[in-house]
Structure 1
Amino acid sequence: MRSKLRPLCLAALWAFALAGSAHAADGSAVEPASGERETAIFAGGCFWCTEADFEKLPGVIEAESGYTGGKEPDPSYAQVSAGNTGHAEAVRVIYDPARVTYPQLVEYFWRTIDPTARNRQFCDVGSQYRTGIYWQTERERKVAEDSRDALLRSGKVSRVLTEILPATAFYPAEEYHQDYYKKNPLRYMYYRRGCGRDAQLGRIWGPR
């Protein structure tokens, strides 16, 4: 059951996302939509929050909540939240590569999680709330591993426990979980604040 309760470029990317600007962080114009779509899969603890964070980023078309990395086919939320299926709550990010690149998605992802925590994120505890980057190509694997190594070298965090693994089946979550932050804004904000997510992110990464 859910509880109720290197460096400069990341800050610039976050500010760009929150502003919803039509310009990149360096002031240059963002490429127009290309009509192309690519996907990326991330686990960042509560998928409501991870979905909401990614949908703030220009170039992201949609982020879909779901489950990945487990043994049961097409699991339910009740099964995953019980912690017995091996799945993580995750999001499948659908994005326009002309507007945002996979390396930018990875860099952005770090600032939405606590990568030093094992099998938990903020008030949510259990392996279903672990963090992960699930690569679909060798290029994505290298990008993710290089980004992790750069983060460690930066000294910003003492360790990175986020798993970087090949993608397995992704199962979309039930419809009521999709866009939860839009459908239930008051409940979502109560949960997010009560969980201390943004307060902890501020302590790790500094002001957004």
Structure 2
Amino acid sequence: MKNWLQSVALALSLLISQAGAQTPSTPAAAGQTATAIFAGGCFWCVEADFDKVPGVLSAQSGYTGGKTANPTYQTVSAGSTGHTEAVRLTYDPRIVSYAVLLDFFWHHIDPTVKDRQFCDTGNQYRSAIYYNSPAQKAVIEASKAAILKSGVLKEIHTEIAPASTFYPAEDYHQDYYNKNPLRYKYYRLTCGRDSRVAEVWGTKN
């Protein structure tokens, strides 16, 4: 698995260069940050996972991808807004690249299912990647193609769409895994998130 990931990373770096995206030869200026938006089911879990990644400055839970203005947890969880539970990352591109964040995301979700993630079902729990620029879109499409070509996954249902308005979730959802560690750990365990990820990818995170 490690060797495969290294090969994918190399292939992606070449594709990014061809697409005209930022490469290590053109580093980000000091103090410059970038954003990335991912939806992978329960935003508590996605936020907790990305908070462990060096270079991620903040991870904010919220709602995006739908058309309803000013959604709430109640309206989104009812499944009528079109929004997903998502996480917006602010990161330092001098420390971690978008391609690395994307690869991390793939390997912490189940891309093989539609309109669900683990124990949570419904369109609001679909996995999705929301791109902020043509360069990000190119990286996403190249990454998806590389995974399918590798044969590790036979299908990917993760939505790829342009970023739209991101609505921060209520305060009690932010940093939930630290505020309510016992409830969070119980939820994550009983939902089977980590065991399913290991099954899908054939590895342990």
Pairing 1:198–2:198 present: no
User: TM-score, length-normalised on structure 2?
Assistant: 0.86
Shift of 1:8: 3.2
Alignment of 1:87-106 (within 5 A): 87-106=83-102
Structure 1 contact 10–108 (Cα < 8 Å) conserved: no
Q: Which residue of 1 aligns with 2:15?
A: none
Q: Residue 74 of structure 1: CA displacement?
A: 1.2
Is there any run of 5+ residues in structure 2 with no aligned partner, and where?
A: 7-26
Q: 2:184 aligns with which of 178, 184, 188?
A: 188
- Percent sequence identity over aligned pairs: 56
Shift of 1:71: 1.2
The amino acid across from 1:191 in the alignment is Y
2:136 aligned with 1:150: no
SS in 2 for 1:140: helix
* Distance in 2 separating the partners of 1:75 and 1:111: 29
TM-score (norm 1): 0.85
8 Å Cα contact 1:10/1:111 also seen in 2: no
Within 1, Cα distance between the matches of 2:162 and 2:47? 20
**What letter matches 2:77 in structure 1?**
S
1:1-208 equivalent positions in 2, closer than 5 A: 8=3, 10=5, 34-205=30-201, 206-208=203-205
Mapped contact 1:86–1:128 kept (Cα < 8 A): yes
1:8 counterpart letter in structure 2: N
1:93-149 CA deviation, whole Å, 9 max, x = no partner? Answer: 110000000111111110010000100000000000000110010000000000000
How far apart are the structure 1 equivalents of 2:122 and 2:154? 22
Letter in 2 for 1:124: D
Q: Which whole-Å CA distance do the structure 1 matches of 2:181 and 2:49 have between them?
A: 14
| 1:170 Cα offset (Å) | 0.5
Q: Which letter maps to 1:173?
A: A
Q: Distance in 2 between matches of 1:7 and 1:158?
A: 19
CA contact under 8 A between 1:7 and 1:154: conserved in structure 2? Answer: no
Match of 2:110, SS state, is coil
- The whole-number CA distance in structure 2 between the counterparts of 1:110 and 1:8 is 16
Q: How big is the alpha-carbon RMSD for the aligned residues of Structure 1 and Structure 2? A: 1.7
Separation of aligned partners in 2, 1:197 and 1:189: 11
- Structure 1: gaps of 5 or more residues: 1-5, 12-30
Paired letter, 1:82 = A
Q: CA deviation at 1:36?
A: 2.1
Q: How many residues align?
A: 183
Which residue type is aligned with residue 185 of structure 1? Answer: P
Q: Which amino acid aligns with 2:204?
A: P
